[in-house]
């Protein structure tokens, strides 16, 4: 994490070898630098002599701490009980949730896959004590030990350099011929206490589970906000999706622990010229699905034109609600499809918010006034929190008209024209792609005297409506008034 937490800028020479330094010495080198002979502890002058193109970065503990906290938020999807082990350790208590995920092996695989997807490399170990698991992970043991009996020999084989004790303590142990933790455990405790102090021996007892080792639980923040500096400038919006995945992964884990659902969030962009811009994301219904977050983000990014290259991202959760309780099914059920809410989110991301509206029935007999547009999110929210406001509430144009049909004695078409279209009238009657055949008797509508003369008002109407059919087999809804024949809508 010391290396991966840094925003490593692209080198103009194309060299990929880099290292982190502290106090004039190499602290950590990446694989490309290590293959050139760069080792921890070397002087900077020696390292640059071996590899003149080596990129050197100063260690930034504050950045490492923020990265570890973001990773902890992400890991909240596996367990709510976890602890930070700075500078690069994360302890997950999985004893109470392994059955939920299908066993320890399944949890380990999911954690490692998630770390790789976010660009983190991880060494791991599973053990019955926190410190024992941490030491085994630092030694890259990659093992699962579920009993104290199995833990003791595994710890005994570790070098004394693994715990990270002070250099003078490790040197003194080596002078005594104690190079492994098993050698240390075999010595009389009283003599070692006098020679090296209580710290290393107490650590060994904690790792072996012989004395308690309580951990300070990680407190998930009350409000979610996470940032990320990009490895290089991004000039096209689509290129932000991969980097933002790490932020949305942390958000999904935070929502899992906080038992919340997200309604809206904002991705803030920092450009290389110092300017800021924001990309708001609003969901049709509150959710906590990371894949759904990313799908909506990609839809918005496909239409976004960057004013300038982006150097950093910052994600904030703007509207979060408590997750309602729900009972799981007794038997295994097929997963649900995308659903209306997710479909509406994607349509609005592609077409714009104003291009996708829901319709609500209004108490007016005039077809132009019988429905009113409404934000789809408000209707979907009402559906999830209570029953429908009325039988006429709908979430799409087609279902709105179908609902209206259910309340009317006479049929109504699926599609109404924005304004009635005049029809040609001939001796054999009205024409629309040919002569029209009247299929129903006239339905008289007289209404609207109350808004006569008002701006935008339709006013009083007196119309006789008919269902008709032309020679091509098309069905339509037409009416006749004092001015002539008009086409009002078309049946699907």
What string of DSSP letters covers 351-411?
Answer: H-GGG--EEEE-S-SSGGGSEEEE-HHHHHHHHHHSS-SSTT--SSHHHHHHHHHHH-SS-
The reply to whether 424 falls in a domain is: yes
The reply to whether 316 falls in a domain is: yes
pLDDT (tens digit per residue) in 409-439: 578 887 888 889 999 989 888 999 999 999 9
- Of the three residues 365, 383, 407, the one that is the final residue of a domain is 407
The reply to whether 162 falls in a domain is: yes
The reply to whether 255 falls in a domain is: yes
The whole-number pLDDT of residue 84 equals: 93
Residues 199 and 68 in one domain: yes
Which residue range forms the structural domain that includes residue 448? 415-490
> Quick count: other Cβ atoms within 10 Å of Cβ 293?
24
The reply to whether 11 falls in a domain is: no
State yes or no: pLDDT of 463 exceeds 60: yes
The whole-number pLDDT of residue 315 equals: 96
The whole-number pLDDT of residue 88 equals: 86
State yes or no: pLDDT of 75 exceeds 90: yes
Q: Which two tokens stand for residue 352?
A: 């714009």
pLDDT (tens digit per residue) in 260-301: 999 999 999 999 999 999 999 998 889 999 999 999 999 999
Q: Among residues 386, 396, 393, which one has the least CA distance to residue 284?
A: 396
Residues 311 and 432 in one domain: no
pLDDT (tens digit per residue) in 480-490: 998 999 999 99
CB of 320 within 8 A of CB of 257?
no
Residues 120 and 178 in one domain: yes
- Distance, in Å, from the CA atom of 122 to the CA atom of 170, rounded to the nearest integer, reads 25
Question: How many structural domains are present in the chain?
Answer: 5
Quote the percentage of the chain above a pLDDT of 70. Answer: 88
Residues 301 and 255 in one domain: yes
Residues 74 and 126 in one domain: yes
pLDDT (tens digit per residue) in 376-387: 766 665 555 543
Residues 264 and 318 in one domain: yes
Residues 69 and 194 in one domain: yes
The reply to whether 13 falls in a domain is: no
Mean pLDDT calculated for residue range 356-360: 77
CATH of the domain at 299: 3.30.1490.100
- Of the three residues 141, 174, 208, the one that is the final residue of a domain is 208
- Distance, in Å, from the CA atom of 469 to the CA atom of 406, rounded to the nearest integer, reads 22
Residue 403's pLDDT band (boundaries 50, 70, 90)?
A: very low
Residues 189 and 289 in one domain: no
Residues 92 and 198 in one domain: yes
pTM of the model: 0.67
CB of 50 within 8 A of CB of 86?
no
The reply to whether 345 falls in a domain is: no
Q: Which residues sit opposite 341 in a β-bridge?
A: none
């Amino acid at each position: 994490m010391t290396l991966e937490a840094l925003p490593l800028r692209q080198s103009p020479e194309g060299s990929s070898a880099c290292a982190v330094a502290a106090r004039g010495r190499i602290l950590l080198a990446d694989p490309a630098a290590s293959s050139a002979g760069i080792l921890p502890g070397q002087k900077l002058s020696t390292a640059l002599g071996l590899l003149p193109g080596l990129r050197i970065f100063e260690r930034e503990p504050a950045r490492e701490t923020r990265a570890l906290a973001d990773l902890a938020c992400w890991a909240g999807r596996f367990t709510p009980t976890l602890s930070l082990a700075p500078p690069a350790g994360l302890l997950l208590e999985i004893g109470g949730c392994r059955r939920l995920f299908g066993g320890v092996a399944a949890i380990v695989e999911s954690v490692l896959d998630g770390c790789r997807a976010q660009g983190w490399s991880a060494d791991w170990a599973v053990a019955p004590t926190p410190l024992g698991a941490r030491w085994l992970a630092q030694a890259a043991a990659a093992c699962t030990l579920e009993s104290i009996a199995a833990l003791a020999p595994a710890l005994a084989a570790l070098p004394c350099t693994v715990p990270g004790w002070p250099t003078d303590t490790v040197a003194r142990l080596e002078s005594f011929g104690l190079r492994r933790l098993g050698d240390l455990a075999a010595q009389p405790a009283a003599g070692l206490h006098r020679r090296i102090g209580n710290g290393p021996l107490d650590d060994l007892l904690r790792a072996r589970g012989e004395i308690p080792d309580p951990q300070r639980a990680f407190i998930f923040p009350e409000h979610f906000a996470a940032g990320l500096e990009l490895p290089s400038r991004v000039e096209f919006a689509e290129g932000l999706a991969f980097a933002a995945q790490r932020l949305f992964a942390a958000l999904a884990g935070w929502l899992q622990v906080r038992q919340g659902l997200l309604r809206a969030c904002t991705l803030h962009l920092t450009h290389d010229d110092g300017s800021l811009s924001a990309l708001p994301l609003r969901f049709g219904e509150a959710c906590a699905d990371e894949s759904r977050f990313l799908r909506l983000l990609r839809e918005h990014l496909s239409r976004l034109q960057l004013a300038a290259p982006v150097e950093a991202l910052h994600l904030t959760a703007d509207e979060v609600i408590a997750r309602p309780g729900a009972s799981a099914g007794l038997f295994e059920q097929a997963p649900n499809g995308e659903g209306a809410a997710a479909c509406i989110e994607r349509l609005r991301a592609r077409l714009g918010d104003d291009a996708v509206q829901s319709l609500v029935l209004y108490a007016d007999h005039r077809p132009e006034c019988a429905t009113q547009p409404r934000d789809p999110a408000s209707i979907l929210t009402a559906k999830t929190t209570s029953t429908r406001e009325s039988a006429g509430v709908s979430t799409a144009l087609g279902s709105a008209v179908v609902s209206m049909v259910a309340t009317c004695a006479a049929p109504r078409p699926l599609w109404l024209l924005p304004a009635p279209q005049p029809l040609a009238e001939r001796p054999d009657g009205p024409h629309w792609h040919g002569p029209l055949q009247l299929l129903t008797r006239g339905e008289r509508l007289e209404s609207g005297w109350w808004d006569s003369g008002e701006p935008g008002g339709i006013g009083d109407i007196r119309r006789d409506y008919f269902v008709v059919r032309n020679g091509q087999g098309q069905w339509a809804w037409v009416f006749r008034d004092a001015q002539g024949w008009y086409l009002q809508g078309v049946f699907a």
